[in-house]
Structure 1
């Protein structure tokens, strides 16, 4: 059976036990239990929604989000311990057998959401204490998470199967063709529009407001999706819905240590909009991936220091997001997830402290998404003002300041791209940012992809990478071999053959 359907053939949403505000455990049911014995009470519906969040904490899924969003770009380098499949992605030697083309952890979450959306609406007929608004709020969370997962798949694979039916037994499994990029995008927007209408504004506590889908998390997802599809007016409206709420602020950047502690070590800061809530009971995968003694990935320190954050020749200024903030310049440790503290005297997390949150969206992202949209709406000065807000907080040095001409649309768009690199280093956004920028206007800026891809590549493969990137299908990963063998309706991404 295909990996996709092996992971989703038993629903993880049926029996769930909530053991703390941000830790969920799953008990998988036998076939048929979903239909026959579950979905009777609002508590069971709530637990099923909790299961959707629990599946987001899957270590394989989060590792994929890091790999898909970072290692094809320019900010992450390999070590002697980097998995061969990851090295092959970095060098654009990607085969359908590559383990990082396994999308099953994402489809597992999608199926959890499908299960809620298929069986959840009937609970109100069995539990008189469940209100319409409460039911729709639960369904909104499932719609938003499903939309987010498909957004990751769209940007990583391009065309993917649209599975929107719940699969709880092997008998439910059906083979599916790939859907077009446009159809996948339309499904994302449909999910997010439902979520926007019915999601709550607050769950009543800070941790839940950062760890669950609020209306503001939905607005952030919408803004990102609209930006991907060049819908700039809609992106601005979604961003303004967050900005005008007055609920979010940039974490202060007075000192590198306090900035790091509030935003990354502690998490759920005033800047956070949606964060995956790892804790001591649900550790993230980053200890084995990033801690110095066993790290599989390191920062591309020379490129970051010289080209991204810049080096102040006087030695009197430094971007707090750079050396000893996002990464360690002397050994390349990616500090955002590995660090217990930042600064010259930084310390690293121990294995039982590897619970840095995976930040999906935060306020700086909203400001820079809006800035990117504004520059294409000929509102350059407003875009520059937003860029400068983020730069000021990060204490960006003068050397990285770019165009201040409000009418220079392309220059400002590139400025946003560069500032996003400084702000979101290693947060799973860089490759997607580069691809979004490159594909605009019929791939007018294709060169940014190749320039980034060859930064850390061996000299003997640079020309090969440049040649491959001329085919836009190469910008998306292939469908895994196991999927193709199990589902005869699937057709391989044309760049990778049949």
Structure 2
């Protein structure tokens, strides 16, 4: 949890950055030097707006590590598509490695203990705390500023609750049971030990926050940067759909997806779009027609991805099976016949470098966005929910397959991947349809922090009826001498969530370590 001796809400102003389109607002943080924030602040609607903007700006930062780095690590390292940028030579003592390098390798190798610093959840709870400040103190602004309407107040509160729900969704999927902190920590006196809430309680709070957001935030903020960088109504429905899919509430997932689809605000680039045009629009420039929610890095606020993926001594690269064509496929006869998501966008076939965020970037120009949700996610979530709404329903399965094929057509997906033919599955076989969607998500969202969550969601469905999908994946990516021990570990479903960081256990006497790590 947040342990600093002073707690000040992050105040920010919106600025236009030189060299960036004037339609795209970016955020610059300005922290108050001193003073009692709760007494001196929360007087005008402009201050309320700045506080909400501060919640977004804090997502560009982090705690021990940047927030987006945690999102990548938690969503990718336990999967099968990422390996270490450089594996230590055989026989190298881990004692000679930096703490971060050692902890990353341990997580990649499924050797996870409570002292691993990558289990630190501070970055997420800091944002939750900023949101809690807005939620608690925002309503008081209306008393002081009669130009603030109730609808505008509700919209600001909705944004904060939407972000809080998203942060708790990451914590739920990563740790399972976590403390639900719904009151702000504004001083040392506010620090109270807090026990974990159950997964059901956390999920219920997330859904409540997101439903409030969907009902109260704006449909549009009037400019593309804010529409892609802030929570609008369709962003809230998108996150809500993801939560419903995780909790196996398939009809509500479909309904939320339909809200986004029927808005006609988003679309896939048409079939035949050149790879360079697609990459430049969606990933290099960002805020494209496919984007739903993107963290808006910019020239004065760089992302951490260059050092993670592109620099000498990079931390991570694509797994060999991805880099050699087993995911996207290759055409050795016609190099132009390729899945536009593969080599040249997601990774480099030659080096295995993860290029989605770093093409044309340098240490000084690494400001590609982080993509929390794109329109294809809504489509594929709907397909997955249709598949499992009524298992065996051929009409639903056929509709789900058509959605996947819509995405595949837009991306020029290959029908033969290194000798394996990819064709529509039998709509009568629910698991085959589900796996068709699962495999397409791997191609569509490569290195966007979603792979492990996709694996776990598919494995745990219906009381872990498909745990084999997880066991096969983790064993295939484990070192050869550890494969059996990894399988034995992951057969215990309690191991599918990270341990609570040891520091939190030491400083909060109400916290109980997750069972597998006790």
TM interval, short-chain normalised: over 0.9
Measured on the aligned residues, the alpha-carbon RMSD in Å equals: 1.6
Residues 1:441 and 1:304: Cα distance change in structure 2 (over 3 Å): farther
Of 75, 79, 82, which residue of structure 2 is paired with 1:76? 82
What is the distance in 2 between the residues matched to 1:70 and 1:336? 14
What is the DSSP-based 3-state SS (H/G/I as helix, E as strand, rest coil) of the residue aligned with 2:356? helix
Of 111, 127, 130, which residue of structure 2 is paired with 1:93? 111
Deviation at 1:184, TM superposition (A): 0.5
What is the DSSP-based 3-state SS (H/G/I as helix, E as strand, rest coil) of the residue aligned with 2:403? helix
Give the match for residue 342 of structure 2: 322
Q: Write the deviation string for residues 352-375 of structure 1: whole angstroms up to 9, x where unpaired.
A: 111110011110000000010111
Kindly indicate whether residue 208 of structure 2 is the aligned counterpart of residue 190 of structure 1: yes
CA contact 1:251–1:262 (8 Å) conserved in 2 = no
Give the match for residue 93 of structure 2: none
Of 298, 302, 308, which residue of structure 2 is paired with 1:289? 308
Deviation at 1:26, TM superposition (A): 3.5
Give the match for residue 64 of structure 1: 70
Pairing of 1:24-173 with structure 2 (within 5 A): 24-28=28-32, 30=34, 33-59=36-62, 60-80=66-86, 83-173=101-191
CA contact 2:86–2:313 (8 Å) conserved in 1 = no
CA contact 1:8–1:168 (8 Å) conserved in 2 = no
Give the match for residue 450 of structure 2: 429
What is the distance in 2 between the residues matched to 1:282 and 1:138? 24
Deviation at 1:28, TM superposition (A): 4.3
Q: Unaligned stretches of 5+ in structure 1? A: 341-348
Deviation at 1:104, TM superposition (A): 0.1
CA contact 1:279–1:356 (8 Å) conserved in 2 = yes
What is the distance in 2 between the residues matched to 1:428 and 1:215? 23
Pairing of 1:323-338 with structure 2 (within 5 A): 323-338=343-358
Give the match for residue 364 of structure 2: 352
Give the match for residue 344 of structure 1: none
Q: Write the deviation string for residues 457-490 of structure 1: whole angstroms up to 9, x where unpaired.
A: 2111111111100111111000011100000100
What is the distance in 2 between the residues matched to 1:239 and 1:29? 44
Give the match for residue 17 of structure 1: 13
Pairing of 1:177-326 with structure 2 (within 5 A): 177-252=195-270, 254-312=273-331, 314-315=333-334, 317-326=337-346
Give the match for residue 94 of structure 2: none
What is the distance in 1 between the residues matched to 2:60 and 2:117? 19
Give the match for residue 471 of structure 1: 492
Give the match for residue 482 of structure 1: 503
What is the DSSP-based 3-state SS (H/G/I as helix, E as strand, rest coil) of the residue aligned with 1:360? strand
- Higher mean C-alpha displacement, 224-233 vs 73-82: 73-82
What is the DSSP-based 3-state SS (H/G/I as helix, E as strand, rest coil) of the residue aligned with 1:40? coil
What is the distance in 2 between the residues matched to 1:242 and 1:322? 27
What is the distance in 1 between the residues matched to 2:215 and 2:473? 39
What is the distance in 2 between the residues matched to 1:302 and 1:76? 10
- Higher mean C-alpha displacement, 445-454 vs 226-235: 445-454
Residues 1:105 and 1:454: Cα distance change in structure 2 (over 3 Å): same
Give the match for residue 96 of structure 2: none
Deviation at 1:138, TM superposition (A): 0.4
What is the DSSP-based 3-state SS (H/G/I as helix, E as strand, rest coil) of the residue aligned with 2:447? coil
What is the distance in 1 between the residues matched to 2:485 and 2:245? 31
CA contact 1:219–1:242 (8 Å) conserved in 2 = yes
Q: Write the deviation string for residues 385-415 of structure 1: whole angstroms up to 9, x where unpaired.
A: 1101110111111125244322221111111
CA contact 1:334–1:426 (8 Å) conserved in 2 = yes
Q: Unaligned stretches of 5+ in structure 2? A: 17-24, 88-99
Give the match for residue 475 of structure 2: 454
Residues 1:192 and 1:490: Cα distance change in structure 2 (over 3 Å): same
What is the DSSP-based 3-state SS (H/G/I as helix, E as strand, rest coil) of the residue aligned with 2:477? coil
What is the distance in 2 between the residues matched to 1:40 and 1:8? 25
Of 365, 376, 381, which residue of structure 2 is paired with 1:364? 376
Deviation at 1:24, TM superposition (A): 2.5
Deviation at 1:314, TM superposition (A): 4.3
What is the distance in 1 between the residues matched to 2:5 and 2:149? 29
What is the distance in 2 between the residues matched to 1:12 and 1:350? 32
Deviation at 1:30, TM superposition (A): 4.0
How many residue pairs are counted as aligned between the two chains? Answer: 484
Q: Write the deviation string for residues 261-309 of structure 1: whole angstroms up to 9, x where unpaired.
A: 1110000000001100000111111111111423110001324544321
Of 379, 386, 394, which residue of structure 1 is paired with 2:411? 394
